[in-house]
Structure formats: C-alpha cells, structure tokens
Structure 1
Amino acid sequence: MVALRNILGIFAEGELRSRKPRGTAASTGDLTKGISFVRGQTLQPTSVPAPAKEEKEEKDAKDDADDADSDVDSRFVLDASVPNGNFKPAVEGPKLPARNKLSFNQMSSSYGKGFAMLQKMGFTGGGLGKHNDGIANPIEVQKRQSKRALQDDGEMVDQDLYGNEGGRRTVEELLSMDRAPEKKSTEPKISDGWKRDGKPKKQKTIYKTAEENAGEVPAMRIVDMRGPEVKVASSFAELAANLSGDSVRSLKEFRHNTRLLVSRYEDKVRLAAERKRHCENVILSAAKEQERLQAADNISEADVKGCKELVVEMESLRERQDEGSIGLSELAETFHRLERSRPKEFHLLQAIDVAFALALPTAKRELSTWQPFKAPELVLKAMAKWQDLGDKERFSALLDASLIPQLRKALVAWAPRDFEPCIRLMETCQRLLRTEVADSLVAEVVLPRLRSEIEVWDPRIDQRSAHLWLHPWLPLLGRKMEMLWTPIRFKISSCLEKWDPSDPSAHGLLKPWQQVFDPANWDPLIEKVLGRLERSLQETPIKPDGQDLTAVKSLLRWLDLAPLENVARVLETALFPQWHGALKRWLRTEGCNFTEVLQWYQGWKALFPPELREQLVVQRHLAHGLEVMKHVMAGGEALGPEEPTRAGAEKATANSRLPVEEVSLSLSDYVTQVAAEEGLIFLPKKQQRNGKHVYQLGAATIQLDKNLVYVAPRGGEGEWKAASMDELLKLAKATKK
C-alpha cells in the first residue's frame, strides 16, 4: 500500500477506497485543503501513522455520505456550504475588449467567402463568441523555408489574437524603447552546410572609415502626445507623415464628441433664450398690469362714473354690431370720439381691445359682399381709419384676418391681361394702407400671377404682345418687375431661331422692350438678330446689273435698335468682301463704262444713312473702293482680290498692287499736289469740324478725314457731303468763277 501511494501520490487514497466494499470505513485526506501535485519520482517514502479509532469512524461516516451523494469535491458544487465560513470567491479585474487588427474591407479581400459566412453568423467586429470576448484576429500561418525541417525556435507565430497588445504606454516606456536601427546579431547564423547542394558561406567583413564613425549621430526622439495615443518619432519627416495620416483619422472621435457637445449646448442655449423671452413677456405683462392697477387706485368717483358710462356705450355698440346695424367706418369714428372725449377711462378699461374685437366681425360682414376690382375704395377707406386707432400689431392682425384673404381671393381669380382694374386696386391700397401691406400683396400674388401668364404667352401665335399688359405696371412696380424679363427674353429668343430676316414683325416685337430690358437681357437678343442678318447678307450675291437689296434694307431697318458699330461690323464681315470683289471684276472687264461704275458706287454710298457712313469701318471700305476706281480710271491695272482690313486704309493700299509713290502719298499731300497742278489755293482755316482741321481749296471749304474729302454746303446751310476728286475740282473751279 505504501508503494502504491508512493506511485499515485494523493490519488492513492481514492484508489484504495474504491477497492473496499461499500460501507467499510476508510481513511481519507482533508479535501478542503489545497492540493499540491508532486512528481512521483521525487517523493520519498514515508511512514503514515494509523489514525485514531474515533477519527477513523468520523471519516468513514463522512466518506459514506459523500459516496451516497457524489464523488465531486464540495468546493466544486455550486450549492455547497462554504467550509469554516471563510471561503471568498476569486475576483477578476476588468477584461480588455478584443480588437480587430484588420478592417472589414481587408478581411473581405483576404478571406472572401469565409468572412461573408462570419457576417451571416452575426459577426460585427471584435472578438468571437456570444460576449465578443474570443479571438478577434485570424490565426496567421508562418511559411517555412524550402528544404528546411522543423526548428527548435522560430516555428511559433508571436501573434496577438485578441488585439490587446500595443496598448497605451507611458512616456518612460516609450523613451526606453530603442528606436535605433537593430544591430546585426553576433551569434552565428544557421549554416546551410546540411543541405545537399549547400556550401558554407564566408561572412563578409565590413570596414568603416573614421569619418563614417564620426558622422554617426544618435537617433532623435520626438514624443507626440497630441493624439489619443502617445507616439515617438525619430525625425521631423516621420512626424509630418504621422500628422498627414493617423493624426487626422485620430480626430474623428474628437470631432464627433465636439458635435455632440455643440448640439447639446445649442439645445440648452435655445431653451435658455425661450425662457428669457418668456420671462421678458411676463415682466412686460406684469408692468402693464401694475400700471393699470396703479391707475385704478388713483381714480376718483367721477372717473368710476365715467368708466361705467363708457362701458354702457361700448355695450350698445356691441348690440348694434350683433344686429348688423353699424358699419366699419361708423364704428371706427365712434371709438375715435370716445378716445377723445374720455381718454382716461378709455385707457383704464383698455377699450382699444374692445374696439378691434368688434371691428373684426364687422369687417368680415362688409367684405363678404365687396368686389375689389369694381369698387376698391368702398372698404379700403373704412379700413384705413383703423390704422390710426390702435398700434401696428392690432391693425396688422385685423388686416390678416379680414382684408388680406379677400384680396388674395380676388387676385387669384384675376386675368392678368385685364390690367386696369388691378392697377387701380393696388394704387388704392398704396394710398390708403401702409406700404408694406401693398408690397406684400404685389410680391406674393400680383407678380406670381403675371409670371404664370407669361409662361402661357406664345409670341408666334398670340395676337396681343406682352408689353401691352405688362408695361402699364412699370410706374407702379418699377424694378420689382425685373424678375419677369428673363422668361420673356427666352420666349422671344426661341421665336428668333426660325425667323426670316425679311419679316419686319420681329422689329415690332422687340422695339417696345428696348428701354425696358436691362443689358443682360437686351444684348443677347440683338446679337441673335444681327447674326441672322449677317448670314442673310452672306447668302446674297452682289450683282451690278441686277442687285437684290432686300437683305441690306432688312439690316438697315434695325439701326434704331442695334448699335451702329455692330451694324458696321456686320457690313464689314458679310457685305464689303463681296462688294469689293464685284467692283474689281467689273473694272477688269473689257469696255468697262466708268460712268456706270461711278453711278453704281454713288448708289451704294447713298444707300447707307449718314450716321452709318461716319463709322470708321464703312469709311475705310468706301475710300478703298474709290481709290481702286481712281487707279483704274488713271490707266492702271485692276487690283487683285484683296480688300482693306481693320488695320487702316494705308495697310489695305500697301497690300494691293498700287505703285509705291501712290502708296506712300497721304491724302493731304495728294490734295496739295492736285491744287498746285490746277493753280488752286490750299490753305488751312481757323476752324475745326469733328475735331479735324478745315481747309480752303480754291473758294471751297473741305475737310480731310482718312481717305475721304468732305465738302461744306453752299451758303453754310445743309450737310457736309463726301465727294470724289473730280467732283471736288469742279466745285472748287465753279466756285472760283
């Protein structure tokens, strides 16, 4: 038995007891004491003294009771009594929650179907299990190198499955961490000599110079304590990288908490403001009540008698109001009389509240049969008497409850093209009521009704233009109508898409809006019109023998609406290139009649109005045509297809094939030369025209402007006219005679 106990240790008692028949006494150890497991080979054999007879009987009885119940130690039974009364359950500290090292996106891309199955089974992050206290990170597997057997060290993966490592550390722990690069281990590495083709490699010796050793600077440590975790950076570059990445993400919790705090205190501030407003109203009400009570204390018996008489009069007014025998105007005049005759009693009894209380049903009764467009002054005059009786708030409340609903109802059913009754109604409102009342009606009812009518207006099929029923509102509304111009411009612009430039109806459609539209709405329409006219001019050929002037006349029709410089630009782009080409082709034909060419030139020149001929672009092209005609009539060859550009007539003449002498000769020099050849006087006068000098050629008065010569009218009455050199010489000589 001693040998068996030496081998089995503490479990020998149970083994011996189990071999005895049930009911026999056997000695057992005290199981309430701690158990210490000792290896059998180190336990020395000792002699065990025999227990006393009484102790043996108690132990046998206890063993029998334990065997009858179970073979489980009482310490492991939940309802077992605590021995000796001093047993205390173990108390554990707080358990750190499990944390995932990988995000959901990383786990989904790495584990795919397995991660999807985890989500279906209720995985929402953290650890596994019902209480989320299991492992939180997938078990990593370390891949062994090829042809390498099991090793004593390095096989286990040092992995934190619960994500509790890397927690917060103190500054001392962080500073004690060695951030310097790890030094190479001096221990010999595992040799590859055991491999079949392995050969031992000789370790490479690295030598450093004294400069390299002296240049080694100990690593710098920067402790960053701005985020939720303390971090240590070895350089400013690493610190900047942390700031651009983790630090921004680490502020999410801070921003969230800040928003919560702001929203919480916003509610508190709002509640405090409402409470303050309520307290102010209570204080004002109490002050008014105190004033009323003080006034009531100071009244005399005569004042009391006057108050009773005032009450009787107001009661009679109420009875008449119930009967419908008093109107709104008479009611206002009566309360005005009572306020003037009994001001103290009127104030003590707060009769103004009674007045407006009686005015509301009276106003509703009269307004129920009122027709605003036929008789706008009928009710408005009576309503205007009430705005001087009470304060602004009481009068506004009376209007909102009685007058405004009736006006809105009438304006909603009003046809905007029938403008006269509505304008008369709005003028009456502005004259009798406060300005803000009329402005609110205009902004909330009148302008939306006009806008809705513009939406259904179609300029292509509507026989009545929109300006007929919109422009009468301009004196009353003014700049408030600017919100209507943009939709009207869109309507007109859509009509111009397929407009024929020969159709004069577009001019009549746009003319009324010239002084109404602002530049932002007017300029796009004019540019669209000129674009259509320019394309029409480009498609019209220039034929000296049978010219179609429809496109040109269509363009000149818009001179009163379009800027002159824009019309001149259209002529320069679309007309004059063809005009120069036709002139040069005509001059190159054999047997060309120069008289017909001159008449053709004069006809085109007379076609343009004087204000258009004074535009620099038109002057340049006409002067260039005149120079070409003069050059050919003088016996020169016809010019090529070049025409003048905006750089000036000199450049256009230089690009042509004129002789160099004529190209370099200015108009003033040319007139001087002609005057010398003809024996005429050419002297400047002491006057100017349009900022340019005036000259005397013979007895004629002329002005030189670029390549044109203007001649003064005879007798000083009339307009200055441009003339050719032949006409100028005839006038100068005829005047001389």
Structure 2
Amino acid sequence: MFKRKSDAEDDGSRKAPKLGGAGGSGGGKMSFAAKMMAKMGYKEGEGLGRSGDGILKAIEVKQRPQGVGLGAVREKTEQDKQEAKRQALKRGEEYEDSSEEERKARRKRKEAVRSATASGASTPGGARKPKTKYRTAAEIERQAEGLEVPNVLKSLIDATGKEAKLITSTAGLMTPTFTSAVEETEAQKIANRARKELESYADAWTELTERNKFALAEEEQVRQELAEQDEEIKQVEQMLQAVQALQDLDLSRPRLADDAANAWEQVTSKLETLQVEYATEVERFHLTEVAVAAINPLFKQEMIDWEPLEKPTHLVPYLLRIKRILGIKKDERALAIHNGRDGFQSIRRQKSTTPYESLIYNSWLPKVRTAITNEWDPLNPSPLITLVESWRDLLPEFIYHNLVDHLVVSKLSIAIQEWNPRTSLKRKHGTPLPHIWLFPWLQFLSPHHTDPTSATGLLTEVKRKIRVVLDTWDLSRGVLPGLDAWSSVLGSTLQDALVKHLLPRLAKLLATSFEVYPPDQDLTPLEHVLVWEKFFKPAVMGQLLIAEFFPKWINTLHAWLTMPEANYEEIGKWYNWWKEQIPASVNAVKAVSDKWEEGLVMMNQAIDLGDDAISQLPPPAAGPSKPIASALRSKEVETPVKARTQAQEVEATFKDVVEEWCEQEGLMLIPLREAHDITGLPLFRITASASGKGGVVVYLKGDVVWARKKNDKTAFEPVGLEQTLIDRAEGK
C-alpha cells in the first residue's frame, strides 16, 4: 500500500516540538510558543520580563496531605527555594531558608555546650572531672581558728622499708602519692588515714566554732533584751507613779474659781511632764486616754458656769500646752478649712472618735451651740470670732465644721435676710452694714459660701439681696450704703447686677426728671446719676450720657444759638461749665468727646453764619427741641402749674407715700385682701415683724390713714404718719 502525502504530513505534525537546543548544533526546530517568546525578547536561562527579574522556571505545585492543616508540612517547593536563592544572589545577599536557619541554630547550641564543658585534652562533648585539692596540716591549722594539730599528725616515721623514713605534710603525709595502682605502701595508708581524720577533725572544729559564735551572739541579744525590759519596767513604774500622782489630785470635787485655776495648773504641769518624757510612747501606753481622763472632771465643771461669748479664751492656754498628749493634730483642722464639707464626710466615715473628740463633742459643743443660738448677735461678730480663733487649733475637724458651717452660717443667713438697706442709715432703726459683720467671717467659711458664682452660699444671698434693693432703691438717697465694700468681694457679679438692675433706672431718671435749662439749671437728677459713676466702667457711663443727656443738651445749645439775642461769650462759658460737670474719665471716652466736639462745631458754624444762624444753622441730628426762648418766657407761668400737678400726683398716690414712709421706718405695708365693712376700702396691715403678723390694721381714705382701735376692732380712728403709728406697728 502506498501512503498518501496528506497522511505523512499529519503524522509529522503530531510530533512534540523540541524546546531545548534551538539554534544549536542539532539544528532542532523551535516550538511556536518558544518562537513567540523569543520575539518578545525572552532569552533561555534568564528570568521573564524586560530586565529578566521574573521567575526562571514554571511554578510547581506541592500537594498537602489530606486532613493536614497549615504548618504541618513545608509549603515551599524546590522551585520556590531555587528562585528565592537566585533572586538573593542577584541582589548580592545570602539566602537562608527556615531549614538552614534551624541547622545553624542547632550547630551553635552544640558548639556552646561543647565550649562550656569540654577542654582541649578531654573527649569532645564530655564534662571534665574537677581536680581534687588537698590541704597541708599547716593550712588546716590556719583555716580552723583555734585548732591545734598534734605533732604526731604532722610527722610520722615509715619503718616498713629497708631504712627508716620521716613522712611530713610536705613530704607526702597530706598528699596522695601512688607509685602504682596496685601496690600501696603502708606509709601511704597511714598518711591517708591521718589526712582523713585530720580533715574530719578540722570540719568538726569549724562547725563547733560557728555554733559557739552563734550561742555567744544569742546570749548577748538576750542580755540586751533583758536590759531593755528592765529599763522599760522602770519607765512604766515611773509613769505609773506619775499617773498615780494625777489621781491623788482629787480633781472630781467642786472648786471655786481660784482653786480651779490652781488645779488646772497642777494637772497641766504633770501632763506636760508626761508629754515630754514619754513623747514617743504616747500611743503605745495610751497616754491620750490617761490625759483626757485626768482633765475630764475639771473640764465638765468649767463648762457648767462658762460663758463662751464673755470668756472666749477660757481654758485655751492650758489645753494648748498639752495638745500633743491629748491627741490633737493640726492637719485635721487644715483639711477642714480647705475641703469644707468633704473633710466632715471623711471624719464621719471613721469607726469611732478619740477620747478628746468625745470630750469636746459632749461637753464643749453643746455649751457653744446654746450661746450661739440664744445669745449671739450676728451684727456683733467680735466675741464669737475671738472664740473661733482661740479654739481653732484645739477643735477636731468635724466639730469645727459643725460650728462654722452650720451654727454660724445659719445665724448669718438669717441676718442677711433681715437686712433692710433702706433703714440701715436711720438713726432710730439703723443697723450695721453687712460688710461690717460679714467680712470678718469670710476667712473661716467653706469655699461655696465665699464664691459669688455658687448656686448657694452667703455671698449668693447677699448678691440676691442687692439685686432686689437695686430695683427699688431711692436714687435720691445716693449710693447704696456699703456697696463699694462689696465690689471687691463680689467682683464681676456685682457689675452685672448694676448693669441689669440699676442702669435702666438711671437712664429713666435722666429721661424723665432731667432737663437742660440754662436760666435756672437743676443738676439734682444728673448728680443722682453721676454719684454711681465709680461703679461703672467709663464706657458704660458715657453711653448712658450719650443716650439720655447729650440729645437734650445739644437741642438746648441749638435753640440758644438760633436766638436773635444770643451771646456767644456766654454760650462758650456755658459750654465749658457743662464739660466740667462730667467726670474726666467719662469725657476721655471717644464717643463722649465726639459729642462735645459736635457742640463745638455747631458753635463755630453759628459764629460763621452770624445773623443768618437764626434760620440757616442746621438742627442737630437728634431732632427738634423745645425753643429756649419760649422756655425762658414761660418759666414763671409753668412753675405754679407744676406745683398743682405735683399736688395732684401726691393726692392720687397717697398709698405710695405711705409705703415710702413705711420703708424709711423699717415697717411693712401688707395688703390683707379684705375690705372695710362701711367704706369698702381695702384693708392693710402695718407691722415691723418680718413674718407679716401683728402690728395695726389700717385703710387709706384720701390723704388720711385710719387705724383700728385697740379696744374696739370694729372702730377706726385717724392717725398721722408719726411715732404713735410706729409704736402700734411694733406692738407697743
């Protein structure tokens, strides 16, 4: 049969192409893939990529055994290792995989062990046997302190040989000398036995010596302890004698004042001696309890007749001398001052009080509490301040807190609530101003009482009281008494209260009561405003004048300049006079100086215009004003009209007059929401009590006050605003 050409070609096409040796001597053909890669710049034996940095061989796959997790076998194939090594060599580095690192680590450990245990002559890896060291008899004698080696052990006669031989420690007695492993002479045996016995004796001697030293040390320690105990027994006996001497004083029986002073001096002197001699043993021997028990009878006797406000320093000198033995600590008092209530709470967490604290709490505090509650007047702070300052270093923390923050503060709070600024300067009903009797207490009070920004506290009550007073204070009476003293304590809070409560009233006063009237100028309203100038910043006061004073002043100046008979010299003097009435600090404000400049410019314009100023002088920007000429002509006419109007206002507001009179006299006019049976007019109660009770019931008819009679509650009689009504309001 003949092969067809197509069949031969098909068989040849199915042969595998030769990848290697392309272009070699064999002249083999390149495969299609090899040709394509060669066209793209690939060279056999180099990595993939333009610079040959890619992998050299195809990626191999390494199968992990079934059921085995990560880390059980080495994941890197041989191809990965060769490729990583090739890349490292290309970078000039040395490649080490995990297996090589482990081999090097094991090799290093073996070398370390071998270098530590082996020597050059020993077997590699084996430990060298330590060399036995022998001591001579002289060395043993030197090392074993006090041991005397017998001469018989220092030298022996060896008569076993042909001739006698002296064996000493230096000639072989204490050192083993073997001529043969089998043969051992009698001298060597004797030497060995002597060496072993001598070393055994030396060790036993050393042990006994150490025991002897320890026993001597114990004996010395016991001797010292006995001496200390003897000294302590003597000290305790002396202390017992001192305590017995305190008992012999018989302090429990009543005494007169002179005898009590002598008894206090005696017991204080003896306790002072104990305090000095047993300063380090106070807690150990419970001397605090002894001291408190010694003064307890005397202390209780003194508290019976003691007047805290009359004798605030009573017993203080005695207690200060023995404060250490009484267990009084300074740091507790300091903690109470700085932490306030927190210090009191820390004391409350203690399980019990000391004997001295119990004595003060049960005997001293009730006496002082009664004096403060029933006798002390907050308006006279000196006696109680002396008491607090004197006892300050002697009071426990919680008692000091109870005294100041509870007893004193409660009385001061009531006094602040009863303070009436309107009557504070009255001679009859006058009371000291709060800053006189409150400021001395600020150094003793806790922080929340001295912080005006706090939600509660004494200064907060004062601030609230001042705000109420500023809303109703009669501006004609000048500055609120004592307000300048409060500015240093209240700080910015007072400034805020003045701006919110007083400044609008000052503006209203200038707007309604002040007029610029050159013929007969009344400066009273302006003076009532400027008297408050020191409490405001110059810019604030300047703004007030710009809003309420300068519009009236500039209108009056314009009206005067446009009068036919205007005298510019007189106007200039008037201008300078007004400028002098305003404080220099306010005039220095730029907005105020601009207003003065505006008036000066208007005056210069009028001078330049001459007679034409009457019609051509521009009016001020504030608007038209009342002509000054008509004001001058109608002055005499307006005066009686004003008087009639004021009389009508007084008649129409007679209730306001009565209220003002009550405020000035320290009384209150309280509406009862009831009506008189006959007239139907509302009834009021005039009383001096802060509770609103008592006093006298009245009603107002016209300009007459009708008061209820004392004996007949249905009848009323007219009374005047005089002392009789004041006495009835006070319940006299």
**TM band (smaller chain):** 0.3 to 0.5
Scaled by the length of structure 2, the TM-score of the pair is 0.43
Scaled by the length of structure 1, the TM-score of the pair is 0.42
Q: Which has the higher contact order (CA 8 A, sep 6+)?
A: 2
